[in-house]
Every structure is written in structure tokens, then in C-alpha cells.
Amino acid sequence: MKRAELIIGKAYYMSESANWRDKHYSAYSSYAKTAERSQRYKVTVIETQLKTEQERNYRSRDVLIQNSEGKEKWVALNHIRCTWVEAVKVLTEDNRQRYGYDDRANKYARHMARKMQKEQVDPAIKALCEEIERVTGERVWRGDKIEGLELNTLLTLTKALSFIKTDLQAVAS
């Protein structure tokens, strides 16, 4: 972060690692638990301006912070990554993406997808396979792909579908 962007008294996330997002590990996927586990990286900016000549000479790239233990110290400006709230959000979202987010809504969505697959999609595919077998005489399995069917079967299906389309257009007009 830039010195001008820092606000005195505001909480920031500090990490000496350039790869701070990947270094973080949390077994939790909630914002509160991520904030609790990352508490030691939380710092509060005490002073951004260099006031004395010595500070200007020796601390030109540092900023005075108070760490989570309450100790004041000078740290490199480039170790302050972003605001604390933004860091907790980023780390939680990274964790959710990395390990999957198992909240009730996602579990219910997966349940409903499995239910639809079992009750609607599977029977529809089975009926389609039976109709193809009835029309063409070739046994079609659920895992078969169109490219895997015999040429004669493909031609018969194409012909049957074109007849159906022609009949539907005749009925509609």
C-alpha cells in the first residue's frame, strides 16, 4: 500500500510474505472464524508521517504500527497488504474456492440437482435409449455418444426425426 492511502487508527492486514494469500490456512469457511484465526496479522496504523530527521533518513520506507499484542514497532510499508476487512473477505473467499463451501444452501442445491437427475433426467435418457432401440434396432446404452453409433443407426434416426418434423409442420398449418 502507499503511505498516502493509510489511515491512522484503521486496521490493516500485515504479512511479510509476498505470497500472503497462499500462505494463509484456515479450516473454516466463515468470515468470523477466518478473522479469529488471522488475528495475529491484524495491525493498526499509529503514524504514517516521518517527523524527525532521523526517521526521514532511516525510516523512509517504514510506517509505525501497533500489532495485535499491543506493541508498537516500525514495519516496512510494503508488508501492509490491504485493509483488515478486505483481507478477511479475500482469505475467506480463497478458502471457500480452494476447499469448497459446504453451507446449507450449497448442500441443498446439490441435493436438488441429484434429485432432478434421478427423477427426471435419468428416466428421460432411458426412454430416449429405448425409442432409439425401437426405431433403429440397435441397442443403445446410456453412456454411448452419437459419434459411437453405427452409420446405419445415425441415418435411420435422422430420417425418423425429419419425418416427425415434417408431420409436425403439416399439423401446425
The percentage of residues in the chain with a pLDDT greater than 90, rounded to a whole number, is 14
User: Of 74, 109, 80, 66, nearest to 18 (Cα)?
Assistant: 80
The whole model's pTM is what? 0.54
User: Of 129, 169, 167, 164, nearest to 148 (Cα)?
Assistant: 129
In whole angstroms, give the CA distance from residue 26 to residue 45.
Answer: 25
Which secondary-structure segment (H or E) carries 75? strand 72-76
In whole angstroms, give the CA distance from residue 167 to residue 111.
Answer: 40
pLDDT band at 54 (very low <50, low <70, confident <90, very high): confident
Contacts of 8 (CB under 8 A, 6+ apart): 45, 46, 47, 48
Domain boundaries, the chain: 3-99, 104-172
Give the phi and the psi of residue 138 in degrees, each rounded to 5.
Answer: -95, 140
The mean of the pLDDT values for the chain is 83
Between 124 and 172, name the one with better pLDDT. Answer: 124
Between 52 and 120, name the one with better pLDDT. Answer: 120
Cell numbers found for residue 11: 486496521
pLDDT of the residue at 23: 72
Query: E strands of 3-130, at which residues?
Result: 11-14, 42-47, 62-66, 72-76, 80-83
pLDDT per position as a tens digit, 86-114: 998 888 888 877 776 666 777 888 899 99
Contacts of 102 (CB under 8 A, 6+ apart): 29
